[in-house]
Amino acid sequence: MQRKKAQVTIFIIIAIILVAAALFSYLIFVARPSTIPTKLQPVENYYLDCIEEKTKETVAIAGMQGGYLEMPEFEPGSDYKQFTNYYMFLGSAIPYWYYITGNNMQKEQVPTKEEIEKQISNYLKKEIEECSLEHFQNEGYIIEESLISSVTTSIKDNSIEIIVNKQIIIEFGEIKATITNHKSILKSNFGSLYEQALDIYNFEKQSAFLENYTIDTLYLNAPVTGLEITCAPKIWFKDELRRELKNAITANLGQVKLKGTYYQLASSQNKYFVVDTGKTISENVNFLATEPYRIEIWPSEDNILMADPIGFQPGLSLMGFCYVPYHFVYDIDFPVLIQLSRDTDIFQFPVAIVIDKTVPRKAETGETGELNINICNYKGAIGTVYTYDQNNNPLEASISFKCFNQVCPISTTKESDGKAYTTSRFPQCLNGFIIAEAPGYAKTKAQISSNEPFTTSIYLTQLKEFKINMDLAVGESAIITFSSEDHCTTLFYPTQSKVELTATTYQVTAQLFKEKTMTLQSGTTKHCVKVPDWLGIMHEECYDLELPQQQLTNVIFGGGTSEFAPTPQEINLATQLNINIPRIDVPNNIQDLQDVYSTIAASELDLTLI
């Protein structure tokens, strides 16, 4: 028995020794304070300060670009859907978190925190190499540096931790130290702003609250469905409706607030603009609805919307009164930039708002249909379509038919007896469009009503590819848009340096951008909107909209508009298009930026085919 007790005692002693050894190792190798000699500490402190400053600059750029430092590959839009995967805001390209592709697919580009950390690390690895310690050589220090082997980033709610792995050997007299890991902690709200941005984005996906405010604005500011007691036709002008809708949507969405502590309501009526996301928001949140807007309205003829009266037609005159019923269908696309800020930190990201046939599109990724009823399945009237090139020669082409925003494939014209034509059945539609497409030719359309048999001819003009030549310096870029009745294209130069054009009249717009960091100071602007009271009577309410400080990385410094009408002969002979875009002094502040936009509006482009 005594022997067993002695064995237990020995085991206990061994355990105590092991615990003591582990504790001693921790105190020596882990808990021990920094061993950098005091005389050498200024070098390391300077290097850490430089890391912190570079991190601050890098995080500010990421916050302005939706979390991105490495941009996704550019995706162009189309005639049907205007969105590219980039939103241009005051000269800066910001990747959309949600957008519609040119072929009508819904996509997301939401970076994860891990992806942002990796991009920050990659970006800082290049930037921190600029943190030079050479000036310490003049103060008696001898410094040997290796290249940075790695940078590790960790994003917390209220800080960002950076660890730089780089060997620095410092000597001063007989004192010497080798430092391998350099840890810097930057106080920043980036992490919490990003998490809040994710919450807002997910809530918008689930509830489509921005689309619902847009629908409310549409019904309050434009004719949708209704009737009026009158015997005179009702007429609206499309351009005027578009302008009023743009102003109303921008103003109303600018007043939207999330339930939180960052504002005070001036009156109980303003509760209409408060959205309850299920959380209390403390950050400042702004919703900026901006260009480009796409507003299409049906039915319409040229620039006019008309509703005819009912009541004086034969068989209805006994009613004793007339009334005008109307029903118009709207497609509305535009971007909203969602900005969050706290103190001097800002995080912003854009989303595409899509109203499809006066109905908010559900913000879920994947392909979506256009209407509940597929009109392509209901073909009735017989139509004959002839297709020619611009020289009146028969040209085989694919034929489709567009009614509202549904496009139905029909057939292909085939050449026979010196003519290219097809006779096929078409869906019944008033004021639809026959679309003809052939390789190397501009897509051409002809308006037709297919509720009865018809015959029509379509002439396609040949497209030719031209090399774009522009005199741009390093760090400069341009966006050029060619728009005509039948052919539209946009290119981002110098990433895209070729364009296909045809002999027609184009309206050409261009903007020049330069890589430059510019800070826009915070400020307050006043917006007034029309809102209904409890009786439904419209009245005007004005609100102050606070805009946080913003940092731009690209600024606009030139641009203009011009009409360009190349002749068929010029198209045939030329191979290159020279574009000269008027330049203006690069802006340094918000007033300069406003002056640039005013100057661009009155500037003309110089386009020459050679």
- 485 burial level (CB within 10 Å; 0-12, 13-18, 19+): exposed
Stretch 271-275: mean pLDDT: 89
Quick one: tokens of 529?
Answer: 């909107």
Q: What pLDDT is recorded for position 82?
A: 62
**DSSP E strands: which ranges in 2-128?**
86-89, 92-95, 98-100, 105-108
Question: Tens digits of per-residue pLDDT, 9-57?
Answer: 554 555 555 555 544 443 333 333 357 888 899 999 999 999 999 999 9
Q: Is the pLDDT of residue 559 over 50?
A: yes
Backbone φ and ψ for 438, nearest 5 degrees, come out as -145, 145
User: What size, in residues, is the chain?
Assistant: 610
Tokens 């045809």, residue located: 502
Stretch 275-300: mean pLDDT: 87
Name the DSSP class of 504: S
Q: Which domains, ranges and CATH numbers included, belong to the chain?
A: 38-72+109-188 (no CATH), 193-367 (no CATH), 375-460 (2.60.40.1120), 464-609 (no CATH)
Task: Look at strands 379-389 and 454-460 and give their pairing.
Answer: parallel
Alpha-carbon separation of residue 211 from 206, 207, 297, 333 (angstroms): 11, 9, 17, 10
Helix (H, G, I), strand (E, B) or coil at 247: helix
Stretch 109-127: mean pLDDT: 94
Within 8 A by CB and 6+ apart from 537, the residues are none
Residue whose C-alpha is closest to residue 146's, from 175, 169, 116: 169
Stretch 560-576: mean pLDDT: 91
Alpha-carbon separation of residue 465 from 221, 391, 462, 478, 607 (angstroms): 44, 19, 10, 19, 15
Amino acid letter, residue 545: L
Tell me which range, 282-291, 347-356, 486-495, is most confidently predicted by mean pLDDT: 347-356
Q: What pLDDT is recorded for position 386?
A: 96
Tell me which range, 26-40, 65-79, 326-340, is most confidently predicted by mean pLDDT: 326-340
Q: What pLDDT is recorded for position 410?
A: 92
Q: How would residue 477 be classed by pLDDT, with cut points 50, 70 and 90?
A: confident
> Considering only 19-23, 121-125, 307-311, 363-367, which range has the smallest mean pLDDT?
363-367
- Please give the residue that has the higher pLDDT: either 437 or 529: 437
For 540, other C-beta atoms within 10 Å of its C-beta total 8
> Considering only 33-37, 275-279, 497-501, which range has the smallest mean pLDDT?
33-37
pTM for the predicted model, two decimal places? 0.60
Q: What pLDDT is recorded for position 232?
A: 53
Q: How would residue 542 be classed by pLDDT, with cut points 50, 70 and 90?
A: low
Name the DSSP class of 279: S
Residue whose C-alpha is closest to residue 247's, from 293, 204, 211: 293
Amino acid letter, residue 448: I
Cβ(203)–Cβ(355) below 8 Å: no
Question: Tens digits of per-residue pLDDT, 391-423?
Answer: 899 999 999 998 866 788 999 999 999 999 999
Stretch 281-309: mean pLDDT: 82
Q: Is the pLDDT of residue 548 over 60?
A: no
Percent of the chain topping pLDDT 70? 80
> Considering only 205-219, 335-349, 397-411, 565-579, which range has the smallest mean pLDDT?
397-411
Stretch 100-104: mean pLDDT: 74
> Considering only 92-106, 370-384, 560-574, which range has the smallest mean pLDDT?
370-384
Q: How would residue 170 be classed by pLDDT, with cut points 50, 70 and 90?
A: very high
Backbone φ and ψ for 584, nearest 5 degrees, come out as -130, 160
Stretch 440-461: mean pLDDT: 90
Cβ(609)–Cβ(565) below 8 Å: no
Cβ(234)–Cβ(511) below 8 Å: no
Quick one: tokens of 103?
Answer: 């072929």
Quick one: tokens of 180?
Answer: 């391998």
- Please give the residue that has the higher pLDDT: either 361 or 566: 566
What are the residues facing 145 on neighbouring strands?
168
- Please give the residue that has the higher pLDDT: either 443 or 245: 245
Q: What pLDDT is recorded for position 462?
A: 84
Q: What pLDDT is recorded for position 523?
A: 56
373 alpha-carbon distance from chain centroid: 31
- Please give the residue that has the higher pLDDT: either 82 or 153: 153
Amino acid letter, residue 565: A
- Please give the residue that has the higher pLDDT: either 161 or 16: 161
Q: b/e per residue, 289-311, with b = 16+ CB within 10 A?
A: bbeebbbebbebeeeebebebeb
- Please give the residue that has the higher pLDDT: either 444 or 537: 444
Tell me which range, 9-23, 86-100, 146-160, 532-546, is most confidently predicted by mean pLDDT: 146-160
Percent of the chain topping pLDDT 90? 43
Cβ(202)–Cβ(363) below 8 Å: no
The Cα–Cα gap between 78 and 569 comes to 28
> Considering only 67-81, 221-235, 531-545, which range has the smallest mean pLDDT?
531-545
Q: How would residue 533 be classed by pLDDT, with cut points 50, 70 and 90?
A: very low
The H-assigned helical ranges of 208-280 are 209-221, 238-254
Q: What pLDDT is recorded for position 231?
A: 52
Cβ(577)–Cβ(493) below 8 Å: no
Stretch 229-251: mean pLDDT: 83
Quick one: tokens of 214?
Answer: 């847009």
Q: Is the pLDDT of residue 456 over 50?
A: yes
Computed over every residue of the chain, the mean pLDDT equals 82
Q: What pLDDT is recorded for position 1?
A: 46
The Cα–Cα gap between 330 and 225 comes to 11
